[in-house]
Amino acid sequence: MDYRSYEKRLEYILELIRKSRFRTVDDAAARFSCSGRTVKRMLNHLRDRGHHIRYDRLQKKYFLIEKE
């Protein structure tokens, strides 16, 4: 995967999380044709960039905490 497609995937994951449409790592892995570990790395990369991404076990989905 080249840098440009990786960046587009990161943007897409962030958009899905903002719209509450990012459910599981396995679903995203199937959508991107990659491993679940790769998706977890992408989530960590977004966190390293300053996005506050959390997982809610009760609702079973990821969400974004907007910091002011």
- pLDDT, tens only, 34-44: 999 999 999 99
Residue tagged 């509450």 (tokens): 20
User: Is 54 within 8 Å of 17 (Cβ atoms)?
Assistant: no
Whole-prediction pTM: 0.88
Per-residue pLDDT at 68 exceeds 70: no
User: Is 21 within 8 Å of 13 (Cβ atoms)?
Assistant: no
Give the C-alpha separation, 12 to 10, whole Å: 5
